Every structure is written in structure tokens, then in C-alpha cells.
Amino acid sequence: MDLFADIEKKEVEKMLRCSRAVTRELKPREAAFLEGEKPSMIFILESGEVALEKSFASGKRNLLYTVKPGEVFGEAFLFSGADHYWYDAISMKKSRVMMIPWKFFYGFCENACGHHQMITRNLLDIMAGRNFSMTKKLHLLSSTSLKEKLAIYFLDNTDASGHVKLAMNREDLADFLGVARPSLSRELMNMQKDGLIRVEREEVFIEDMDRLESLY
């Protein structure tokens, strides 16, 4: 887990006891927390998958990002001064989360010693990485067309061979891009007809890198 990077297992166990961390099992579509609730914990996903999503009265959903095992979530509210969650954290499948009370990060504990400083440093690294990811998403969403958004997304997630393994299904990708799923499907078909990409289930192969980059 990134939060415990470079910390020995016995020291991690000591800190978890000291912080009074607890674990919780989540059923599919069960919330780790909901918008409007008062923040008090940092969460670590031990297993499963959790989606951070913003829901609107119209029923529209904006997928902010998906949390994978070993990753931290809810950390954005720790130092922000926010008195409630701004989005929901929903389990996409059977999941297990660890919850660490905030107060552990605000003060230095005798039992944790220097490792307390290390876990705080790791948390700041995680927050910086998350901010960078959200900056990239803002850049993506500021694009003027869906084709441009898809070009940016594919180029940002491709490997050296021009292969993109989609980390989410079509519905989630549409929510992530802020578009309707039928619009997404139509644009993928158009880009494939234009010879820009080839789509095979949950995989995309870039056929013309130069033309795709010209859309960026």
C-alpha cells in the first residue's frame, strides 16, 4: 500500500493499533461514504473496487475516478477544512476497506515515532499525485469535442505499441468523460471508420498515431 511505503510491517501494525483503524466489508453498490456526510476518516481499499462519483438531481452521474486495491481515498478532505463530503464513494463489487481516523494524522504519537512522519510524507505524496491526475482530467474535459477528449484519453493511456487497455466499461467511460453512452459509442465507431483506432471489446489499438495526436 502506498500509504505505508518504506515502513516495516511491524511498525505498520503498531500504527494501526495506535490509530484505532478499523476494517469494513462493503457489498456491491454499498457506500463507504455519501455526499453530505461529515468526513472523519481516511480510507484504504484493501480489496475490490470503489468508484468516486458525483450524482445530480437529474440522475446524471459524473465518475471522478476509480479506486483500486492498495489506494487511498477520502484524503482530499483531510486538510481542506470541508465539513461534508462533496461526492459519493460507492463499492462496485464486494470490497474491503480500512478506515483510519483523521486525528492520527494531526498529531505525533509516541508509539509511532519517526514512522509517523513517514506516513504523513507518504500521504502528501499521494495527495500530490491525485491532484496531478485531477489536473489532467480538467484538461481532458476542457476539450471542445468528444473526439478530442477521446484522443487525449487514449494518448494518455497508451503503451509503446499503441495499445490501450480500458480500465472501465463503456458506461463508466461515458460518465468519466461527461457524455451520454450512445454519443460515446457513435464517436468510437466514427474514429474507427476514419482509421484512427481499432476497438476490440475493452481494448483500443491506435492505428494512426500522427493523426490522433493532431487532434490533441
pLDDT at 186: 93
Q: Are 130 and 76 in contact (CB under 8 A)?
A: yes
Residues 2-140, CATH architecture: Sandwich (2.60)
d(CA 128, CA 140): 19
Confidence of residue 86 (pLDDT cuts 50, 70, 90): confident
d(CA 158, CA 206): 8
Q: Are 96 and 23 in contact (CB under 8 A)?
A: yes
pLDDT, tens only, 20-70: 899 999 999 999 999 999 988 999 999 999 999 988 766 777 888 899 999
Within this chain, domains 2-140 and 143-214 share the same CATH topology: no
Backbone angles phi, psi at 198, to 5 degrees: -130, 125
pLDDT, tens only, 106-156: 665 555 456 667 777 777 777 766 765 666 676 666 777 899 889 888 988
Domain residue ranges of the chain, discontinuous segments joined by +: 2-140, 143-214
d(CA 136, CA 155): 12
pLDDT at 199: 92
H or E element in which residue 184 lies: helix 181-193
H or E element in which residue 214 lies: helix 209-214
Short-list 190, 176, 182, CA closest to 141: 176
CATH 3.40.50.10300 for domain 143-214 = no
